[in-house]
Amino acid sequence: MLEWDPGPPPAFANHFENRPNYTPWKKRFRMAWGPIFYRGRLDGSAKVIVIGQDPATDEDVARRTLVGDAGQKVQGFLSKLGLVRSYAMVNTFLYGLKGQADTEARQISSAPAIKAWRNTLLDMVATPQTQAVLAFGASAQQVIDLWPNGHNFFVARLTHPSARDTAALLQNWNQSLPALRQRVTPDAGGTPSNTTYGTSFKPSDIVRIPARDLPFGVPQWRGSGDTAARTKGKDAITWMPTAAEG
């Protein structure tokens, strides 16, 4: 039987319901598809916490963080460490950011309501068994700097998976792997690998999002490929299946 994400435990659901109000900054966010909160284990079993920037179209559709192209690259990074389940992912922002992660975005991220709510979430996700925090991109690294508890963990400051210069991005990921391999215990069923990245992503570096990270009943092709795109200038999203079932 396929394992699906059962949804957030009550304490998390409660915190999610009490999310901060982004309306004062609504010009900077795509709020029509609602907030996207997390992906992975919120049951205290996460050994690694992943922090990203903001949800894009695939995340809007799947209702989970980091499931599209960027997420599948992060999944490949986790699989090199032998992780197939013991991680939890959150973003800097609950809604898709319009435009660049600029000075204004940094100010929004550090606004008291946004910062305090996110710090509480991180405190809830972190446990004594947290072995590392992976901060992908400058926004995520700011999140670490704004999180008082952040200095209690080993933090890997990583280039965002969507960065344009792929060769530089993969060099950065390669540099961080040895220290992470020393700290992170592989999952049962995971196969850690000692291979490094080349100068571009190979198909095997991009790993499918497991059903256990997705809500019950999504189609089989969900979690692979880049399937959703925004209609230019609109809130509509076109979502194309990559293959029929059966």
Q: Are the beta carbons of 138 and 105 closer than 8 angstroms?
A: no
Nearer to ligand URA, 59 or 187 (CB): 59
59 binds ligand URA (CB under 6 A): yes
Q: Which residues contact 160 (CB under 8 A, 6 or more apart)?
A: 52, 53, 70, 136, 137, 138, 140, 169
Alpha carbon distance 178, 230 (integer Å): 38
Q: Which residues contact 233 (CB under 8 A, 6 or more apart)?
A: none
Phi, psi of 32 (to 5 degrees): -65, -30
Residue 54's closest CA among 118, 6, 126? 118
Residue 240's closest CA among 61, 54, 98? 61
Q: Which residue is nearest to ligand URA (CB)?
A: 52
Footprint on residues 120-149 left by ligand URA (CB under 6 A) = none
Nearer to ligand URA, 72 or 79 (CB): 72
Q: Which residues pair with 52 in a beta bridge?
A: 91
Nearer to ligand URA, 136 or 153 (CB): 136
Q: Are the beta carbons of 5 and 215 closer than 8 angstroms?
A: yes
Identify the residue among 42, 48, 56, 81 touching ligand URA (CB under 6 A).
Answer: 56
**Alpha-carbon distances, residue 15 vs 20, 21, 66, 106, 233 (angstroms):** 10, 13, 20, 23, 32
Nearer to ligand URA, 61 or 84 (CB): 61
Map residues 195-224 to x or -, x wherever contact with ligand URA holds by CB under 6 A.
Answer: ------------------------------
Map residues 8-47 to x or -, x wherever contact with ligand URA holds by CB under 6 A.
Answer: ----------------------------------------
Identify the residue among 75, 91, 142, 159 touching ligand URA (CB under 6 A).
Answer: 91
66 binds ligand URA (CB under 6 A): yes
72 binds ligand URA (CB under 6 A): no
Nearer to ligand URA, 126 or 135 (CB): 135
State in angstroms the smallest separation of the CB of 191 from ligand URA.
Answer: 25
State in angstroms the smallest separation of the CB of 68 from ligand URA.
Answer: 6
Beta strand extents in the chain (DSSP E only): 29-30, 39-40, 48-52, 87-91, 96-97, 132-136, 155-158, 228-230, 237-239
State in angstroms the smallest separation of the CB of 194 from ligand URA.
Answer: 27
Q: Which residues bind ligand URA (CB under 6 A)?
A: 52-56, 59, 65-66, 68, 70-71, 91
